[in-house]
């Protein structure tokens, strides 16, 4: 049997209209939206289907919105197909992966991402910062530049997305210094449209408070293999997974390493479960040119039908 991986996107994958086809098609999906609205008291379905984008992209709304759509897409797939081997999620998307792996319930996933969004928004307001994508340098080269930049303020690696695409995060002057070093060494530096310096110590207070909140949530041993952002490795210990998730907010997302781990474990089919094509785009840059793996997106009915037809 082919090894299949489900990948869940995070912030940056949102668009107006996301999840709407599945909402009209499946009772189980409508129940997921209703559950989110009961927990958050936010009209998530209206935000997801109609926007406006300015309101949808507010961190406190976006985190439960994208997660709800991820879970909706997962529910649509699982009506017909449950034979996936492993999963992972990018930053926010990791909470959807925890649900897919059976580690936490859907309800607790929504509670966690709603709390996470509130805390991150609070700290971003208190400690504003920036994120830039550095394209064209290795992780070792960028890490050296980050070490230099830290002499002038808070800056760190937020995401290692592909071999040569690395996102840095932190205070404005320190991020600008690292970006200048990167461009002087032939890289591109692209400012990202984000409302805070995610995965940096500027949101350390949020991480500390979120750790306490994690203790109120039931974590189970995973039923599917899950590759975690902080370690780029799997764990079958529920307490260890909770502890690792407690570090996720301020730690680097080791996406490139996690995807290579899946490739080493002979995953043959990768499915981006949720809105957009961000993770599929990254994966195309990570897979070796001669690698036979197939990549699917499942964010609407047409994409779902193609995946089910082929698998």
Q: Is the pTM of this model over 0.85?
A: yes
At the top level of CATH, which class does the domain 4-125+201-310 belong to?
Answer: alpha beta
What are 2-32's pLDDT values in tens digits?
999 999 999 999 999 999 999 999 999 999 9
Residue 145 pLDDT exceeds 90? yes
Domain 129-191 has CATH 3.40.30.10: no
pLDDT of residue 1: 81
Arithmetic mean of pLDDT, 55-77: 96
pLDDT of residue 91: 98
Q: Catalytic residue numbers? A: 91, 199
Extents of the domains making up the chain: 4-125+201-310, 129-191
SS (H, E, C) the chain: CCCEEEEECCCCCCCCCCCHHHHHHCHHHHHHHHHHHHHHCCCHHHHHHHCCHHHHCCHHHHHHHHHHHHHHHHHHHHCCCCCCCEEEECCCHHHHHHHHCCCCCHHHHHHHHHHHHHHHHHHHHHCCCEEEEEECCCHHHHHHHHHHHHHHCCEEEEEEEECCEEEEEECHHHHHHHHHHHHHCCCEEEECCCCCCCCCHHHHHHHHHHHHHHCCCCCCCCCCEEECCCCCCECCCHHHHHHHHCCHHHCCECHHHHHHHHHHCCCCEEEEECCCCHHHHHHHHHCCCCCCCEEEEECCHHHHHHHHHHC
């Amino acid at each position: 049997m082919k090894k299949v991986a489900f990948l869940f996107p995070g912030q940056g994958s949102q668009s107006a209209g996301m999840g709407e086809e599945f909402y009209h098609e499946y009772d189980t999906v409508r129940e997921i939206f209703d559950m989110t609205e009961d927990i958050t008291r936010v009209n998530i379905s209206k935000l997801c289907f109609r926007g406006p984008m300015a309101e949808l992209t507010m961190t406190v709304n976006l985190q439960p919105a994208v997660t709800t759509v991820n879970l909706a897409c997962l529910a649509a797939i699982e009506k017909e197909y449950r034979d996936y081997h492993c999963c992972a999620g990018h930053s926010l998307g990791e909470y959807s992966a925890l649900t897919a792996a059976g580690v936490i319930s859907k309800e607790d996933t929504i509670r966690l991402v709603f709390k996470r969004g509130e805390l991150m928004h609070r700290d971003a307001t208190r400690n504003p910062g920036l994120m830039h994508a550095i394209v064209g340098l290795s992780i070792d080269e960028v890490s050296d530049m980050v070490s230099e930049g830290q002499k002038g303020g808070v800056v760190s690696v937020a995401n290692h997305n592909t071999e040569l695409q690395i996102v840095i995060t932190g205070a404005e002057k320190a991020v600008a210094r690292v970006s200048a070093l990167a461009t002087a060494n032939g890289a591109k530096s692209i400012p990202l449209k984000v409302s805070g310096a995610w995965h940096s110590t500027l949101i350390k207070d949020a991480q500390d408070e979120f750790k306490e909140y994690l203790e109120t949530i039931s974590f189970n041993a995973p039923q599917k293999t899950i590759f975690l952002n902080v370690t780029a490795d799997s764990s079958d210990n529920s307490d260890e997974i909770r502890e690792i998730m407690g570090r996720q907010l301020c730690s680097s997302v080791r996406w490139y390493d996690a995807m290579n781990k899946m490739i080493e474990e002979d995953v043959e089919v990768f499915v981006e479960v949720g809105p957009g094509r961000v993770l599929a785009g990254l994966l195309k840059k990570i897979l070796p040119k001669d690698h036979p793996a197939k990549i699917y997106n499942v964010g609407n009915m047409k994409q779902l039908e193609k995946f089910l037809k082929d698998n």
